[in-house]
Amino acid sequence: MSDQQIVGAATSAERPEKGMNEWGQALLALVVAGGLAAFLLSGTFQQKSSDPEPAVCEASDDARPSRPVSGVQLCTALNRVDLPTLLGTPTEYAMTASGKESMSKWADGARTVTPEAEIQLATYSVKLSTSDDDIPVAEMADFLGSSVQNRTIGGHPAVLYSSRTIALEFNLGGGKVDTGPGGIARSLLVAKGTKDGGGYYEVSIWRQDDVLPDDFALTRVAETVLPTIPGWTAG
């Protein structure tokens, strides 16, 4: 039987090592949280492989809610009935829906908790996360590559950037799992406040094939979903 390849969650662009400064440390936390989510988190997950009914978000008994918003709340906000239409794939539905909390522990004992949610459809995967770090989006843009573009989402400053997903390759015969570069993800970092005083939401989309994601679809999702998250400030 031939190998199978599955495209995993989006990773952020290259970012500075911990210890350079406080916001460099926080950026690195995003990479750590994304790469180890399957091992570190308790959250929600529902697989719908043969049932055409969309997946739903359900709370887990051992979920660790964050404040002021939890991964389950992010999942509920993202897993909208009209999400396939926002993505430009109206005939599809949510096959998986997850909301969880990732925790990263630093050498100095500090811990970073990141609430996040992910919805997978046949064509697209969508990820939503939030951070309370006091890092303005404008400063983070310096570490996201030369292709960063300034945007405004619901009156909030934002930046649009690209990153590459991680592909997991399962060798069914040898029982091995290899990782490698996957496709391109497009992401919006959106400031929590209209004045960009620190803290942000991140919305990412990537496709299950090698086609570049639709920026207009990403913008529609961000503009529709973010105002429904507890704590969002209208611009």
The token duo for 110 is 């500090």
- The pLDDT score that the predictor gives to residue 52 is 67
Q: Is 215 exposed, middle or buried (0-12, 13-18, 19+ CB in 10 A)?
A: middle
Weakest-pLDDT range from 47-51, 130-134, 175-179? 47-51
3-state class of 219 per DSSP? helix
How many Å apart are CA 174 and CA 7, to the nearest integer? 20
Which single residue is written with the structure tokens 């399957």?
38
pTM of the model: 0.74
Contact 159, 148 (CB under 8 A): yes
Which single residue is written with the structure tokens 């997978």?
120
How many Å apart are CA 26 and CA 189, to the nearest integer? 14
Which residues make beta-bridge pairs with 101? 115
- The pLDDT score that the predictor gives to residue 68 is 77
3-state class of 14 per DSSP? coil
Contact 166, 206 (CB under 8 A): no
Weakest-pLDDT range from 50-54, 208-212, 220-224? 50-54
How many Å apart are CA 16 and CA 21, to the nearest integer? 9
How many Å apart are CA 124 and CA 105, to the nearest integer? 31
R_g (Cα) of the chain, nearest Å: 17
- The pLDDT score that the predictor gives to residue 48 is 43
3-state class of 76 per DSSP? helix
Which single residue is written with the structure tokens 């490698």?
180
3-state class of 197 per DSSP? coil
Task: Say if strands 200-207 and 176-191 run parallel, antiparallel, or are unpaired.
Answer: antiparallel
Confidence class of residue 61 from pLDDT cuts 50, 70 and 90? very low
Looking at the predicted structure, is the pLDDT value of residue 31 above 70?
A: no
Looking at the predicted structure, is the pLDDT value of residue 7 above 70?
A: no
